[in-house]
Amino acid sequence: MPGPALSVGVDLIEVPRIARAVERWGERFLRRVYTPNEIALCDGRIPELAVRFAGKEAISKALGTGLVGIDWTEMEILADYRGKPIVRLLGRARKRAEELGLHQWAISLTHTKEHAIAMVVASSP
What CATH number does residue 71 fall under?
A: 3.90.470.20
What is the band of 1 on the pLDDT scale with cuts at 50, 70, 90? very low
Kindly report which listed range (3-7, 19-23, 84-88, 109-113) carries the lowest average pLDDT score: 3-7
**111 has catalytic annotation:** yes
1: in domain = no
Q: Is residue 35 part of a domain?
A: yes
Give the residue ranges of DSSP H helices in 34-82: 36-42, 46-62
Mean pLDDT of 71-79: 97
Q: Residue 97 contacts by C-beta under 8 Å, 6 or more apart in sequence?
A: 63, 89, 103, 105, 122
Q: What tens digit of pLDDT does each residue of 28-42 get? A: 999 999 999 999 999
Q: Count of domains in the chain?
A: 1
pLDDT in tens, 42-72: 999 999 999 999 999 999 999 997 778 899 9
Tell me if 52 sits within 8 A of 38, measured CB to CB.
yes
Q: Which of 56, 84, 95, 111 is the catalytic position? A: 111
Domain limits for position 108: 6-123
Using 50, 70 and 90 to split pLDDT, how confident is the model at 5? confident
- Strand-pairing partners, residue 78, are 86
Residue 84 is among the residues annotated as catalytic for this protein: no
Q: Active-site residue among 56, 61, 113, 115? A: 61
